[in-house]
Structure 1
């Protein structure tokens, strides 16, 4: 039996929603999936000790029990793979833009930007620490989803991307290639960085298709409601299904 763990902040809601649907459909035979999540930046309190991911925060412990169905900490060795859904995504164009413009970026500059974020981002640090303490467990860092194509920033970027006169399309495609290469080079041993599911992304590869954002659910145990229409950062059950299918690969 394959055992998967998704660990993150509110973005694990997409996986939880997909799990409910797939279990009803019988699409998870021979697979055990646990989800551990805690809202906003509360997961920053997470620690890795004695092969366990836990937290001294009662808030985080409560959320872990809610999302996992009773467990307040993650036993690392229990899983074949742990997927981290929190922190930044180095695939976001925002890290490489100057205002709304996408300048010409060399491979060295792109690599330096990624290095900076890998050193500064707490969630990447957590993922790497989990990988270090257990060499037999695959740890995959996906980070936060890329924002929806419906967001104002995406609309501005894509207008330039599709306008051949701006040259943004060529620069963006070259940048995405450089990011892919840099990420592969940094994935070693049982730690790897992964792009969001390709099927969820629009043509440039920097934003999520609208269909995977609309109808995303609030990450609150006491509230059964969708995010407002102007929420462009949280994804729905369809996106969660792609994450699961990608992990089951």
Structure 2
């Protein structure tokens, strides 16, 4: 049996909602899911016994068939593998870079032109400073666990039609300029660099994508925020959180990856 520790911010809600249905099909996986705001995760500390301790509000904890609970610490040595969900890591990192910079391989003009290598380095800095990577380094250094990363999803299709949503601007700009494929190629190159450092990325499943830079709307509809047994529906103009159908598909990919030891 593989003892799996899953830690995430609001994006872990899709995984949590799906787990009660997925768990009975996978008795070989004993998973505990922990949820917290990303800003609380980056302020967590590691004790001498390799427990990850929350300095802010306690973690939400979920286990299949049990009522939600709260915990101040995660006993990392009780687990075989750690999976980090969301926490500011994903394709959003390359689009955040694109909001500020441009290089000669792109069509859309951004604020400052860089070489491709400099653009890639700027993106990697954003990735390395994300809550996901802060947490991943902390877990590996303190407990020696293999760490896998589940990125935040691509925004849902309808987001590209909403010109009032500020955080959709770089995605819409990439679509308008035809830069989506080039940006996703850079993001995948960044994921390869993480894999070379031992942090494997479990990529969004292709079946959930409407295009290389968008998720199918059906996987975003009826998504919820992580609030334990008091889940709150996302507003219609939240295009970045996914529902339990998405979570079930990603669980399949997570289980296949961690049990085979590859990404």
State the partner residue of 1:41: 39
Post-superposition CA distance 1:61-104 (Å, at most 9, x none): 4x347986465422223223211123323422522424799973
State the partner residue of 2:14: 14
Shift of 1:128: 1.4
State the partner residue of 2:26: 28
Could you say if the C-alpha distance between residues 156 and 178 of structure 1 is closer, same or farther in structure 2, counting changes exceeding 3 Å? closer
Shift of 1:139: 0.5
Whether the 8 Å contact between 1:51 and 1:134 is mirrored in structure 2 is yes
Post-superposition CA distance 1:135-157 (Å, at most 9, x none): 3x210123433322211338835
The reply on whether 1:54 has 2:53 as its aligned counterpart is yes
Structure 1 regions of 5+ residues with no counterpart? Answer: 161-165
Whether the 8 Å contact between 1:4 and 1:34 is mirrored in structure 2 is yes
Whether the 8 Å contact between 1:213 and 1:234 is mirrored in structure 2 is yes
Between structures 1 and 2, the one with greater strand share: 2
SS in 1 for 2:124: helix
Post-superposition CA distance 1:34-71 (Å, at most 9, x none): 100024633333112231112133x224x347986465
Whether the 8 Å contact between 1:87 and 1:121 is mirrored in structure 2 is yes
* TM-score, normalised via structure 2 length: 0.75
Whether the 8 Å contact between 1:107 and 1:178 is mirrored in structure 2 is no
Q: How does 1:112-191 map onto structure 2 within 5 Å?
A: 112-135=121-144, 137-151=145-159, 152=162, 153=168, 156-157=172-173, 160=176, 166=177, 168=178, 171-188=179-196, 190-191=198-199
Post-superposition CA distance 1:118-148 (Å, at most 9, x none): 343233111112112233x210123433322
| Separation of aligned partners in 2, 1:35 and 1:233 | 20
Structure 2 regions of 5+ residues with no counterpart? Answer: 107-114, 163-167, 257-263
Could you say if the C-alpha distance between residues 157 and 242 of structure 1 is closer, same or farther in structure 2, counting changes exceeding 3 Å? farther
| Separation of aligned partners in 2, 1:115 and 1:40 | 19
Choose the corresponding residue for 2:118, options 92, 109, 134. Answer: 109
Could you say if the C-alpha distance between residues 10 and 114 of structure 1 is closer, same or farther in structure 2, counting changes exceeding 3 Å? same
Choose the corresponding residue for 1:243, options 221, 241, 250. Answer: 250
The number of residues matched between the two structures is 235
State the partner residue of 2:165: none
Shift of 1:13: 1.0
| Separation of aligned partners in 1, 2:72 and 2:255 | 25
SS in 1 for 2:158: coil
* TM-score, normalised via structure 1 length: 0.79
State the partner residue of 2:207: 199
Q: Answer with 1-10 or 106-115: which moved more.
A: 106-115
Q: How does 1:189-228 map onto structure 2 within 5 Å?
A: 190-204=198-212, 206-221=213-228, 223-228=230-235
